[in-house]
Structure 1
Amino acid sequence: MPGELFPRERSDPAPGAVLLPDWLTPAEQLELVAACREWARPPAGLRTVRLPTGGQMSVRTVCLGWHWYPYGYARTVVDGDGTPVKPFPPLLGRLAERAVAAAYGPGGLGGIAGAEAYEPDVALVNHYAEGARMGLHRDREERVDAPVVSFSLGDSCVFRLGNTETRTRPWTDLELHSGDLLVFGGPSRFAYHGVVRTLAGTADPALGMTGRLNITVRQSGLE
């Protein structure tokens, strides 16, 4: 975040979870914001996800590589316009592999696969307008336990990283700023997590956007 008095340092909020503040450069953030605008265009563009319970999520989402819907993956937007999902961008593949290397090293750490074994092929881009949030959930539709890579852009948020058993405590609340990288794998790969609230108006005006963008990159394990 611009104007930080003291640089924020790497932290390991849970086993297998790594937070690297300000990991994306300002130029990379601008590049990703511009790319998100293109990915959000129809067909297979930004949509509001409806849950099987009948409710709808407060974030809007666009998928790349594979289309995520509650609760599975498809090659077409089965809960939207029905068109083929946009391809997984090489840009995100390169960034995600760098991210895993930064978090765990090329060869892995403590039994967690490193960048050499990481083959990301799906991304979810979520836009949080003012007041949007994400309830605690687990990313468990993938068929492998490769780490999840999360990039933050725009407004800051309070991100809650919980445990693998329940949506209740223990959990750790993290404030994620634009440019931050969060990677969670190993013991934290299937932890409950969510966004408690977004902090409206905290984005750097130079990004030319409102709200928060979160890009989550995963390895699906699907053929």
Structure 2
Amino acid sequence: MLFDATVIPRKPHRVMPGVVHLPAFFTTKRQREIVDQARELARSVAGTPVAMRQPKVGGGQMDAWMLSLGWFWATNPYRMLREVNGVPVPPVPENFQAIADEAMERARAVDPLVGPTPKVETALVNFYPPGKGMGLHVDAEEKSENAVVSLSFGQDTIFRIDGHDILLMSGDVVVFGGPARRAKHGVLGARKGTSQLLDGRLNITMRQMEEV
């Protein structure tokens, strides 16, 4: 049975120092708008060197499809690029900063240790097919220590950070910064049959690259 995550009573809470879960941050209508925006962004660069892709990592390939905005996450080796084969990386949409501003304001009200609001210089739009996730890793490519703002749409998943598990439903947001900015984290497989919005899960993570 499917539930509307926006009407289930779940309160914002601190998971650990510097990590805040904001359930039902987005209304159902706003979720659809952002998912539609992500689809249009992917269509705008389809067939180019900066298209949404499944990156190769080591000798394997990621399960997630990744679209880079602002900066391009290149692998083997990891490096950050502003263009690929002469094609510029698509910019971060203006509304992403407003989302980050609001999320950080709400998160600081729960735990001030999340720290300053990031200037959103880059964002990753990741699509996880049903049953797929991402292993534990550390976001270490950015020089900035400002928080990461992570948005979740579509199927439920478990977000795991430093040994803590968080059930993420469509429309939820997680913020991690301060003492948790470089914490090891990952997501388990997107849960089939838990969303009418998407057959899979869409995740958008917003970050600041450089120190100001």
* Both proteins in one fold, TM over 0.5: yes
CA distance in 1, matches of 2:5, 2:138: 34
1:46 paired to 2:52: yes
Q: Residue 36 of structure 1: which of 38, 62, 65 is its match?
A: 38
Offset of 1:2 from its aligned partner? 0.7
**Which letter does structure 2 place at the counterpart of 1:146?**
N
Measured on the aligned residues, the alpha-carbon RMSD in Å equals 2.0
Aligned partner of residue 31 in structure 1, secondary structure = helix
Could you state the TM-score of these two structures normalised by the residue count of structure 2? Answer: 0.89
**Which letter does structure 1 place at the counterpart of 2:93?**
P
1:76 paired to 2:78: no
CA distance in 1, matches of 2:149, 2:7: 27
Which runs of no fewer than 5 residues in structure 2 stay unpaired?
Answer: none
Change (3 A) 1:74 1:19: same
Asked whether the 8 Å contact 2:56–2:62 carries over to 1, the reply is: yes
How many residue pairs get aligned? The number is: 203
Q: Residue 179 of structure 1: which of 153, 156, 171 is its match?
A: 171
Offset of 1:6 from its aligned partner? 4.8
Segments ≥4 residues shifted beyond 2 Å: 3-6, 112-115
Partner of 2:123: 123
Aligned runs of 1:1-223 on 2, under 5 Å? 1-2=3-4, 6-41=8-43, 42=46, 43=48, 44-51=50-57, 53-70=58-75, 71-77=78-84, 83-104=87-108, 109-110=112-113, 112-115=114-117, 118-162=118-162, 171-203=163-195, 205=196, 207=197, 209-221=198-210
Asked whether the 8 Å contact 2:6–2:26 carries over to 1, the reply is: no
Could you state the TM-score of these two structures normalised by the residue count of structure 1? Answer: 0.85
Offset of 1:46 from its aligned partner? 1.1
Identity among equivalent pairs (%): 40
Change (3 A) 1:200 1:143: same
Change (3 A) 1:202 1:18: same
